Structure 1
Amino acid sequence: MHMTEGKISRQLVTYSIPLILGNLFQLTYNTLDSIIVGRFIGKEALAAVGATAPIANILILGISGICIGASVIMSEFFGAKDYKMLKKEMATTSVFGLFFSLVLTLIGVITARPFLELFNTPAEILDMATTYLRIIYLGIPFTYFYNSIAAALKSIGDSKTPLKFLAFAATLNAVLDLIFIGGLNFGIVCSATTTVIAEAVSALLCVAYVYKKIPILQVRYSEFRIDRALLKKTLGYGSITALQQSCQPIGKLLIQGAVNLHGVDMIAAFNAVSRIDDFAFTPQQSVSHGITTFVAQNRGAKKYNRILNGFKNGMVIEVIYWMLICATVLLLKEPIMRMFVTEEGSGDIIALGSQYLGLMAFFYILPAFTNGVQGFFRGMGNMNLTLIGTLIQTSLRVVFTYLLSPTLGINGIAYSCVIGWTAMLIFAAPFYLKFRNQYKLYR
């Protein structure tokens, strides 16, 4: 899909909806996985999965950052109709990614237990969490290749195909979980293994599709080589985006350290509400990626007059989604929490989660704005601003979590989010105004 001409609102909606649906499929699976683990294995297993999530996400979102950086470059080439350079970027990203993902896998497996110990993981769930995390890390190469090919498809305006493959893989994952955990009582090792299997399937489906249907992305064996200039540019964009993406799980990991001090019930409650947070944040990030692709394509085509209107349309979509998620969470916060645990002995978990969600429903409007602005900056090629803004937000969130949670409990975590997001918007506003005036986007 070329976004350099045509009706802007329709293009953004058409592009963003598959991204949102794809992420909702993934989030639904992640939530279902937690529900299955919590109800069929126990609250200790639910806490173990929750304790591993921030650590696993550091590497996984780092990979996502590299792929987003490459996607911005490919969007520019596609907007400029330079398909030769688009294919070179695809080859460079693939060769680099193979070695990069294998190194990350090795690092993750070796450091899994030390990191869990470093962040105060309770002894009663440490062994379980270590095993789960190491298996998840074995799927990193598959995660990289799915994300890189999906990013390439999205850069040329195809956000529907990655959705189809992700939906299939998530469904497969959920079915395997229900059979082996819910039906056969296999335990937490099976939960991690089925996740890796689903990641492998989604990666293989993407590769097969590109080589059957998308000639401009088909790289022949002899063309698989690294273009040094493109690699430098990719790492320039991608490393900053990877750092920015990794800041979020690093911050969450530090927050998890504070949560772990409050015991298993607090850990389990925080794991559950984090899944619901993701239903707010991830679709907002999907719209942000739509803004990025739109801005990057139009920047490549030098159509600066379309960019501001695209940004405004994207922000309208962000606000509409916030209204939907806010109403849903407010109305269903307690039933949502009851899905994660059985009633017996879990009253505190349900109460803690319901308190948190009742506050956060209103606060979700803030990341709608921060994600939209960051999507604009990425599309304009200024990754430094996204990194600095995220560092400000994450640092304040961590600091205020440790200051507020001892007295306010889980509500202190919610208030710390508000402080971080507000500071991020205050930082970003003048830079957005500068970009608007510099490129005369008001015309």
Structure 2
Amino acid sequence: MIRDMTSGNTAKHLIHFSIPFVLGNMLQLTYNAVDSIIIGRFAGKDALAAVGTSTPIINILILGISGICIGASVLMSELFGAGNEKELKKAVSTTLLFGGVFSIFIMMLGLIFAPGLLRLLGVPQEIMHSSTLFLRISLTATPFIYWYNAVSAAMRSVGDSKTPIRFLAIASVLNACLDLLFVAVLDWGVAGAALGTNIAEACSAIFCMVYIYRKVPLLRLGKADFRFDRSMLDRILRHGSVTALQQSAQPIGKLIIQGVVNPLGVDAIAAFNAVNRVDDFAFTPQQSISHGMMTFVAQNRGAKKKDRVLSGLKVGLKLEFCYWILIGVLAFSLKEPIMRLFVKAEDVSTIQLGVDYLKWMALFYLFPAFTNGIQGFFRGMGNMKITLLSTLIQITTRVIFVLILVPHVGLNGTAYANAIGWTLMLAYEVPYYFRFKKRHTLLQGG
């Protein structure tokens, strides 16, 4: 459903946009966690560790793609808010055509260099074959990942957050069912897990594209609309390339961190991967609220409504804080039962490592609640450079302190490094916001 956010109650718009996004992503994350549970219980901790070592590489790809699509979505939201339907369709067409070539090129590079990347990460030899197999199979879904993100970005730009998430949720259920079939029943191990995910990702992309052609005339592309526009691509990449770099910086940092964790052994790798799944339940809904703020701010920037732009930031940060209370309490209270879901009861050392790590992260989830909200505002304002610079500060600091702390305090050092990185990120972003507000003509006097 198209939602024009340039009028009406701010909180109502953000909640209606963000809650379906949050609930859909939570459902997806539940089934992602189920994937890890199925792999850990039916294929063993070595398989769980193999998936964990490959995941940061896959995340670089996914977040790089989503960064380009986020940039495109900001531009599309602005065009929608300004009522420029012709340019909106041109932006959608150019984004899709560019992605077809770009995603195939990236996929081929990944398939060629997969073993070398894993060796650079110091992946233990006993799981090298499984890690390479999982990574290569996963990479073949790259075009579908791009098309899903691009079409979802177009739908979100016109205020429809429900539909893409609904299809993603359906695909997530399918993914879990296929994992049970391929891993638990057919015993295909990591190959079965990767194949199930690929089929589900293809379905989510196809569902979204069919829906637009049947139900959303505003975004439907006819033969005359389906063309590549170089000047539009330049505008998209001005937004999207910086965001893609910013999005990729996080998993690149995680890749380095994974390389520091790997020498701690398979138990630490498995525990780290399990807690990362819990991290997803904190970060992804926070990012979903941030996307709602981005769309709200961009639409109202296009409509030149200053007061609504500022109210989007204030209300969004309140929603972020409320979510932190929920996820922080749940993660801290249920840390041991959560870890027992991922690994067998006899793997006591893995469980204990995860419990110790998770108790700190439950507290530290407060910091990304605010960083995500602030970044959603700046993206909506078209200021991608600040999101890149602040992310680079955070991830660089985090990597440095992981390198310093992990050899001395073990896996918990990654949690402490997270908190330090997020603190410095906020120390940069908050003062910058007030300087930006004074300089920006739309926000002056607000």
TM-score (norm 1): 0.98
In 2: Cα distance, 1:126 partner to 1:421 partner: 32
After superposition, the C-alpha distances for 1:84-117 in whole angstroms (9 at most, x for unaligned) are 1000000100110000000011011111110000
* Aligned residue type for 2:306: Y
Deviates more, 1:130-139 or 1:422-431: 422-431
Residue 238 of structure 1: how far off its partner (Å): 0.6
Report the equivalent of 2:248.
246
Say yes or no: does 1:395 pair with 2:396: yes
1:410 Cα deviation from its structure 2 partner: 1.1
Cross-structure match for 1:261? 263
**Alignment check: 8 A CA contact 1:330 1:358 kept:** yes
TM-score w.r.t. the length of structure 2 is 0.98
Partner of 1:272: 274
CA drift of 1:183 comes to 2.4
Name 2:366's counterpart in structure 1.
365
Aligned: 1:200 with 2:188: no
Q: Which residue of 2 aligns with 1:139?
A: 141
Provide the rounded CA distance (Å) in 2 between the counterparts of 1:161 and 1:39. Answer: 33
The answer on 1:330 being equivalent to 2:325 is: no
CA distance, structure 2, for counterparts of residue 290 and residue 434 of structure 1: 24
Q: Distance in 2 between matches of 1:204 and 1:402?
A: 42
Q: Secondary structure at the match of 2:122?
A: coil
**RMSD of aligned C-alpha atoms?**
0.9
Kindly provide the CA deviation profile for residues 25-47 of structure 1, in whole angstroms up to 9, marking residues without a partner as x.
22112111111000000100000
- The one-letter code of the counterpart of 2:411 is I
d(CA) in 1 for partners of 2:187, 2:137: 18
**CA positional deviation for 1:188:** 1.4
Cα deviation for residue 179 of structure 1 reads: 2.0
2:384 pairs with 1:383: yes
Which amino acid in 2 is paired with 1:381? G
User: Which deviates more, 328-337 or 178-187?
Assistant: 178-187
Matched, 1:408 2:413: no
Does structure 2 retain, via aligned residues, the 8 Å contact 1:177–1:191? yes
SS at match of 1:396: helix
Say which SS state the counterpart of residue 381 (structure 1) adopts: coil
Corresponding residue for residue 184 of structure 1: 186
Q: How many residues align?
A: 442
Deviation at 1:437, TM superposition (A): 2.8
Distance 1:231 1:34 in 2: 38
- Give deviations 1:58-106, integer Å, cap 9, x for gaps: 1111000000000000000000010110000001001100000000110
Q: CA deviation at 1:182?
A: 1.6
Residue in 2 that maps onto 1:157: 159
Question: Match for residue 281 of structure 1?
Answer: 283
Q: Kindly indicate whether the alpha-carbon contact (under 8 Å) linking 2:5 and 2:299 is maintained by their aligned counterparts in 1.
A: yes
Match of 1:175 in 2: 177
Instruction: Give the secondary-structure state (helix, strand or coil) at the position aligned to 2:382.
Output: coil
Could you say which residue in structure 2 is the equivalent of 1:317?
319
Distance in 2 (CA, whole Å) between partners of 1:153 and 1:355 is 41
User: Structure 1: how far apart are the matches of 2:182 and 2:126?
Assistant: 24
Deviations along 1:260-310, one digit per CA (max 9) or x if unpaired, are 010100000000000001110111011111110011000000001111111
Partner of 2:264, secondary structure, is coil
Tell me the CA shift for residue 185 of structure 1. Answer: 2.1
Which AA in structure 2 matches 1:390? T
Aligned to 2:23: 21
